Amino acid sequence: MLWLGLIILLFILIIARVPVAFAMAFISVVGIAANDFSLLSNVPRNIFSGVNSFTLVAIPLFILAGEIMAKGGISQRLIDFSKIIVGPIPGGLALVVIISSVFFSALTGTAIAAAAAIGGMLIPTMLKEGYDQGFTTSLIATSSTIGPIIPPSIVLILYGVIASVSISDLFITGILPGVLMALGLAAYSIIIGKKHGYVIKGNKVSFKTFMLSLKDAILALLMPVIIIGGIISGIFTATESGVIAVFYALIISIFVYKEISVKDLWNVLKNSAGTTAGIIFLIASASVFIWYINYESIPGQLMDLMGFAADNPILLLLIINIILLLAGTFIDTISAVTIFTPLFAPMVLAVGIDPVHFGIILAVNLTIGMVTPPLGVCLFVVSSIAKQKVPIMFKHLFPQVGILIAVLVIVTYMPGLIMFPVEWMSR
């Protein structure tokens, strides 16, 4: 079976640090040419059709909105307001990390952006307040995984495009798993805070101080409400919400907070364009890969190889979860979505699993991989900010990852709970 050898070669190339887009394009072209050289004429057609999607416009829009917010003072105001809310609670600054991650998730939808932004602002503060270095950095890394789950999520947008699933349904379904991740990490943080006496110094907050902080942060707080509320209510689509996010971020960053100027927008646009180009190139390669695996009927052949497990939803999801958790440790989330969605989506549909439910399972799995050693990318982002080695995080990292895996089990095997919001809204 040539296709099986090519799939194995794909992962060998990825492990050898060949860019995923090039690796997918290479094995797809080789596979197509080996079957019928004349079929190579389909490659440019599939590349164009793969990126010719209105829904995909949401990705560069949210990337741009995130860049504007990170530089426009919005993120800092959200963090400052979070300090006011949870200051008196043991482990207060740790809770600030989690709350800020939730807010940041609702603005940018990426884990790496959340880890970099929140880590850069809070690591020095937490260490100054006496927090353990390993606990501080591991929590910032694991909290950042909420980013690709709570809407808007670039991971869910990409999955929705590849699997032809409603982006709005994915966004609505992602809210509860994201909240469960935040609550689990918050409970752990409070326990550690009580054990070690982590309390924000000078944490007595008057009503006047609270109102002043709320006034300063209210425009930043309204942004996720507008984005998520508009999508859930059906007022606008995910793509339209991206346009609104960009204009809203521009207006309050330039004219209200006045922390970036028109001249600063060049660097913002340049950084956003670079990130977007990489993702779009990856999607173009994935479109050729998807055409090839469908031509070879690879999902069906994989089900035959898996034998009785392919007919058992519980066992099938267990095997897929294990594969995704392992893959997430050495493949970045966006790349993993483009590889595994076309491989696994037909299999789960064949056994009656809702594609929206599977999209959330996929997203949670792959984001956990971003903080799983040895190659979890968010670990290295945070360690570079803190200027420390990754193993220092392990003592607190493993319990936190355990909490995330517990949420994954709930997401996987309690579909009624996870799918309830979207089912309720569709009545």
Give DSSP secondary structure letters for 49-107. Answer: HHH--SGGGHHHHHHHHHHHHHHTTHHHHHHHHHHHHHTTSTTHHHHHHHHHHHHHHHH
Measured in Å, how far apart are the chain's first and last C-alpha atoms?
A: 47
Q: Rounded distance, CA 273 to CA 98, Å?
A: 29
CA distances from 230 to 168, 239, 265, 406 (A): 10, 11, 26, 31
Q: What is the pLDDT along the chain (427 residues), one digit of tens a residue?
A: 677 788 888 888 877 878 878 888 898 899 888 888 877 888 888 888 778 777 778 788 887 887 787 777 777 777 778 777 776 677 788 888 888 888 776 666 567 767 777 787 788 878 887 888 899 999 999 998 887 888 878 888 889 988 889 888 998 899 899 999 999 999 999 999 888 887 765 556 677 777 887 787 788 778 777 777 777 777 887 788 888 888 888 888 888 888 888 788 888 888 888 878 887 888 888 888 888 888 888 777 777 777 666 678 888 899 999 888 888 777 778 888 888 998 899 889 888 899 999 999 999 998 898 888 766 778 888 888 888 888 888 889 999 999 999 999 999 999 999 998 888 876 6
Q: Are 221 and 114 in contact (CB under 8 A)?
A: no
Q: Rounded distance, CA 175 to CA 306, Å?
A: 33
Of residues 413, 316, 337, the one with CA closest to residue 161 = 337
Alpha helices (runs of H) in 296-312, residue ranges in sequence order: 298-306
263 Cβ contact list (under 8 Å, min separation 6): none
* pTM, two decimal places: 0.84
Token pair recorded at residue 292: 């090839």
Token pair recorded at residue 285: 């390669």
Q: Rounded distance, CA 100 to CA 182, Å?
A: 10
Residue where the block lists tokens 């309050």: 252
Q: Are 80 and 216 in contact (CB under 8 A)?
A: yes
Token pair recorded at residue 302: 């994989």
Q: Rounded distance, CA 117 to CA 100, Å?
A: 10
Q: Are 304 and 347 in contact (CB under 8 A)?
A: no
82 Cβ contact list (under 8 Å, min separation 6): 95, 96, 99, 100, 103
- Three-state secondary-structure class, residue 297: coil
